[in-house]
Amino acid sequence: MKNIVIAIDGYSSCGKSTTAKAVAAELGYAYIDTGAMYRGVTLYLLEHGIGFEDLPRVEEALHQMQISFKRNRRTGRNELCLDGAIREDEIRQMRISNAVSEVSGIVAVRHAMVRQQQRMARKRGVVMDGRDIGTTVFPDAEVKIFMTADVHTRAMRRQVELADKGEQVPLDDIVQNLQKRDYLDSTRTESPLRRAPDAVLLDTSHITLDEQVDFVLERVSSVLVDGLRAAENG
């Protein structure tokens, strides 16, 4: 069985990252959370007082910052490192959620992160989730999934995640944040959020995590079996 690229795109809080991590673990693949990378850039800019409209300083910051992932041996998860320090908790804060769509729409940021993502997955055997994986980062990905869910379902999931990290946020605030991010992500000029023509739609509004994971794994199995048959016949 050859290693492939599995691209999982979709809206915020649809379960992309959780599903992608589980699929990667099942397959023994690497997992790359591209959304965390954009959150890392956002955190860096905010902490260094760099205005998002100050493009020369943003580009300079992109050359200076170091974004990577480090495996947490206790949890088995990859966590985002910014300049060598794990910042996983900070990048999940609401203040980052409120700004990340604006930052990820900056052309220089987009180009820098896409280049890094492509380098990370050069050897394939990877599950990558984000907004433009199947359309821009890996348009040749063998498996493409586009995830969606009702905005109120997504908001409730996000509220639980924030509460687990000690941040209490009213549900209406989260709904407004998600709607704003959906709009910005879908209308930006550079790599907008959209479903690739060959991506399979997965609505997670009323299904469990296990069902989401099984859906993706079944798609992977189908693609791999089709590939083997084509190789045998060719």
Residues placed in the known binding site for ATP: 10-18
Judge whether 91 and 41 are in contact, CB under 8 Å: no
Residue with tokens 């989260």: 174
What lies within 8 Å, CB to CB, of 81 at 6+ separation is 66, 67, 68, 69, 70, 87
**What's the rounded Cα separation, in Å, for the pair 65 and 68?**
10
Q: Quick one: CA torsion of 9, 14, 20, 25, rounded to 10 degrees?
A: -170
- Angle, helices 107-120/55-64, rounded to nearest 10 degrees: 20
Helices (H), the chain: 16-27, 34-47, 55-64, 88-91, 94-97, 100-104, 107-120, 151-164, 171-187, 209-233
Which residues are known binding-site members?
10-18
**What's the rounded Cα separation, in Å, for the pair 47 and 168?**
22
